[in-house]
Amino acid sequence: MNFLTRVIFVLLAAALLLGCQSRRISTETVYVEREVETIYAAAIEQMERGSYGNAADQFDEVERQHPYSEWARRAMLMAAYSNYEAGNYEEAISDAERFIALHPGNRSAPYAYYLVAISHFEQILDVGRDQQATMNALNALEQVVRRYPNTRYAQDARLKIDMTRDHLAGKEMSIGRWYLRRGFYLAAINRFRNVLENYETTTHVPEALHRIVESYVALGVDNEATQVASVLGYNFPGSEWYEDTYRLLTEEGIAIPNPDLQPDNPTYWQRLMDRLFG
């Protein structure tokens, strides 16, 4: 190797080394410590711009750089809220649950529980999908009501509980209809009975009663069909489902008792429900 070749080799090696160092420096995260008020203000500014993901990152930075400050406690809950607004529901749940674990007696704890609940609620899928998210939402919403019954969070949670229970009842109805269409009548009846027993305040009850009548008629159990029809007629006399039931029994030649002629006694109907579905 002559002198000129050696010089070129050394220059190339030096350039390669400098390039590697330059790339390494540029890819490393530079830690810049800032005043807590500065970071928090930057996070609030990001929120006001609607950049909730960036706001959450800045609130996390408050806690990272100043973990034992009063600002860190506030930032933890603000990060949860920012993640919720950004649609990062799992991160919002994690932040809020961590706040609850570290500050269970804090006056903002009800809001933290509420954030957990609505983050689960926003993940509810249609009735054709798995309903684990719906169950998680229901449990979290009920916890808000149980722990803080007199707060505005509980008031909204009660409304969402009704919606969530209606959704779960809708899932049972969807499965029951599937069984009914395929002739699995006993399996269908069990699903519809579950609606009556566990979701009796939902909008699906009249249809559940009608579908049970349909199933009993298909099984040839006329007496039970007429008794369920009576329950439907007594509780929902003007509903479309009672009209469908009346039409079905008439077409099948099955006599349907007039609910108006039955005892006007709630205990009678309760005993009948218990006997039919207990």
List pLDDT tens digits, range 245-260: 999 999 989 887 665 5
Asked whether the predicted pLDDT for residue 268 surpasses 60, the reply is: no
- Domain membership of residue 159 (yes or no) is no
| Tens-place pLDDT, residues 63-94 | 888 877 788 888 899 999 999 999 999 999 99
Burial of 76 (0-12, 13-18, 19+ CB in 10 A): buried
- Domain membership of residue 256 (yes or no) is yes
- Domain membership of residue 186 (yes or no) is no
The pLDDT score that the predictor gives to residue 263 is 53
What SS3 class is residue 243? helix
Q: Domain range for residue 278? A: 204-278
Q: How far apart are CA 246 and CA 226, in angstroms?
A: 10
Residue with tokens 């711009």: 49
Inter-CA distances, 248 with 187, 222, 240, Å:
21, 12, 12
- Domain membership of residue 157 (yes or no) is no
Reported as a pLDDT band with limits 50, 70 and 90, residue 213 is very high
Q: In the predicted model, what is the mean pLDDT of residues 41-59?
A: 88
- Domain membership of residue 80 (yes or no) is no
Position with higher pLDDT, 22 vs 45: 45
The pLDDT score that the predictor gives to residue 277 is 59
| Tens-place pLDDT, residues 94-129 | 999 999 999 999 999 999 999 999 999 999 887 767
Position with higher pLDDT, 18 vs 209: 209
Our count of domains for the chain comes to 1
| Tens-place pLDDT, residues 216-246 | 999 999 999 998 998 898 888 889 999 999 9
- Domain membership of residue 209 (yes or no) is yes
| Structure tokens given for 31 | 């830690």
Compute the mean pLDDT over every residue in the chain, rounded to the nearest whole number.
83
Nearest by Cα to 62 from 82, 85, 90 = 82
- Domain membership of residue 123 (yes or no) is no
- Domain membership of residue 215 (yes or no) is yes
Asked whether the predicted pLDDT for residue 154 surpasses 70, the reply is: yes
Q: In the predicted model, what is the mean pLDDT of residues 7-36?
A: 50
